[in-house]
Amino acid sequence: MKKYRMRVGLDVDDTLYECNSYALSIINSRYPDEEPLTLEDIKGWGKVGRHAEERIALYGDPEFVRTQPITPGAQQFVKKLSQIADVFIVTAVPPQCMSARAERIIKDFPEIPPQNIILGTRKDVISLDMILDDGAHNISTSRAAYPVLFRKPWNNNLSGLLSVNSYDDFLHLCKMACNSFREKFPDLKNGGVLCLVGPSGSFKNQIANELSMIEGFEKPLTSTTRPKRDNETDEAYRFISEKQFIDEMNEGNYIETTVYSSHHYGTSDSDITPIVDKGAVAVIPIDICGALTLKNIYRHRAMLVFLNREKTDTIKSIIARDSDLEDKTRRIMSLDFEYRNSEICDTEVTVGEDAKEVALSIAKMIMNN
């Protein structure tokens, strides 16, 4: 019987071709006396930031579409993806730019059959197995079984969605989904990384703290830009400013970064490696995006455990926590997306009200595996 090949859709702008960065370079050249615009200035999709009208106007210019630079690594990424899936291009482009867009794709990505190039604006009516897109509005309305958000500065306000930071992360996710990533079940008895994944209110931090009190388990100090809560100590996270985080990220200080509820989180290799090298388990409460990055690095020495707590209980915990109304709203709105992430994890654990009991059961599972 012929093995089923997944159908995977790829967005184009800021996924395969540089779009916002290219537009900003053009706009900055028009205004040499102004402070240059950067990608970090684009906080949302559409007409956002200075000279927003000019930036959006460029997207409807055929010459702009014809000359967009290819994102570094995009061609190699499509070649690898084509080996494990049927690849489709799903791109929203104005009618006057359709010819230029199709010509570029056919020329730059010959692995993609011309009949698999879908041009239009109604991405919400296209049904595929997986789709990769940087537009949060496209992901939230997608009919794909696994819509995957490509993290960019302008979609950092969306939490809970299945997300990736790189082409490698997406390839790894595809391999997992189509069962071609054939490695043994994670083995952490001689050291590794334990990623605790779950919705807000699923006791990720409490369970991680309980595990860190068990011999052979340690919780590395990760960095975050979110404010410290009243009940937290300096040992909970390394609390830093957004500017410091972005500077450190650009310097390559983190092996994985993610954004949750508009706040940045990152883990440094220097925090994890010493734990793993001495045969211990690094316990990290993390979202699915960061977890997949660590899985891609540590492979069978990384275990993704989904903490499944009743939705009503998670909502009560979110409402009761020490955060502003906007943060609570984001977390509640993301719950349905987060529960879907259980399908991507290695195993699932039911969470009640006793974090210590859950921690002990996870430790026993790892040691007896």
Residue 1 domain flag: no
Q: Is the distance from CB of 199 to CB of 292 less than 8 angstroms? A: no
Q: Could you report the per-residue pLDDT of 55-78, keeping only the tens digit for each?
A: 889 999 999 999 999 999 999 999
186: its two tokens: 């994670």
Q: Dihedral of CA 279/283/284/289: which sign?
A: positive
Of 150, 177, 204, the residue that ends a domain is: 177
- 91 and 152 in one domain? yes
pTM, 2 dp: 0.67
The secondary structure of the chain, three-state, reads CCCCCEEEEECCECCCECCHHHHHHHHHHHCCCCCCCCHHHCCCCCCCCCCHHHHHHHCCCHHHHHHCCECCCHHHHHHHHHCCEEEEEEEECCHHHHHHHHHHHHHHCCCCCHHHEEEECCHHHCCCCEEEECCHHHHHCCCCCEEEEECCHHHCCCCCCCEECCHHHHHHHHHHHCCCCCCCCCCCCCCEEEEEECCCCCCHHHHHHHHHCCCCEECCCCEECCCCCCCCCCCCCEECCHHHHHHHHHCCCCCEEEEECCEEEEECHHHHHHHHHCCCEEEEECCHHHHHHHHHHHHHHEEEEEEECCHHHHHHHHHHCCCCHHHHHHHHHCHHHHHHHHHHCCEEEECCCCHHHHHHHHHHHHHHC
Q: Could you report the per-residue pLDDT of 37-59, keeping only the tens digit for each?
A: 888 888 766 666 678 888 889 99
- 210 and 173 in one domain? no
pLDDT for the residue 182: 47
- 267 and 120 in one domain? no
- 217 and 167 in one domain? no
We report the CATH number of the domain holding residue 296 as: 3.40.50.300
pLDDT for the residue 47: 63
Query: Which of 145, 139, 151, 16 lies closest to 81, judged by CA?
Result: 16
pLDDT for the residue 137: 79
Strands 281-285 and 302-308: unpaired
- 109 and 135 in one domain? yes
pLDDT for the residue 264: 85
Place of tokens 């402070």: 35
- 215 and 133 in one domain? no
Number of structural domains the chain divides into: 2
pLDDT for the residue 93: 87
We report the CATH number of the domain holding residue 145 as: 3.40.50.1000
* Domain housing 231: 192-368
Residue 151 domain flag: yes
Residue spans of the chain under pLDDT 50: 1-3, 180-182
pLDDT for the residue 44: 67
CB atoms under 10 Å from CB of 240, counted, come to 15
pLDDT for the residue 158: 67
Query: Which of 142, 44, 154 lies closest to 92, judged by CA?
Result: 142
Query: Which of 103, 111, 8 lies closest to 65, judged by CA?
Result: 103
Provide the CA 230 distance to its chain's centre, in angstroms.
Answer: 28
256-260, strands of its sheet edge to edge? 238-239, 223-224, 263-267, 256-260
Residue 182 domain flag: no
Residues 6+ apart with CB under 8 A from 289: 151, 162, 163, 164, 165, 169, 258
- 284 and 235 in one domain? yes
pLDDT for the residue 235: 75
